[in-house]
Amino acid sequence: MNWDRIQGNWKQLTGKVKEQWGKLTDDEIDRIAGKRDQLAGKIQESYGITKDEAERQIDSFANRYGDNDATRDVRH
């Protein structure tokens, strides 16, 4: 998993982020700008979950969209 790749493609992945965490507003997603720690904090706050659970969800997201093939598919 390469979070740098997700951060670099954040604009292309914002739709996928919104699908995964629909309680996050567009403004929040824009402000997060691919910063993993900020994303974790907003997920915790919005969903009332633990840091560990937020990290687990982020890991799952990163495993789906953090490789070249997934980010390439998102852009098309």
pLDDT band per the 50, 70, 90 thresholds, residue 2: confident
Read off the pTM. Answer: 0.84
CATH number of the domain that residue 66 is part of: 1.10.1470.10
For 13-61, write each residue's pLDDT tens digit: 999 999 999 999 999 999 999 999 999 999 999 999 999 999 999 999 9
Each as own residue / partner, the long-range contacts of residues 72-75 (CB below 8 Å, 24 or more positions apart, any chain) are 74/9, 74/12, 74/13, 74/15, 74/16, 75/9, 75/12
Q: Which domain, by its residues, includes 62? A: 3-75
Number of domains in the chain: 1
| Whole-number Å distance between alpha carbons of 58 and 41 | 11
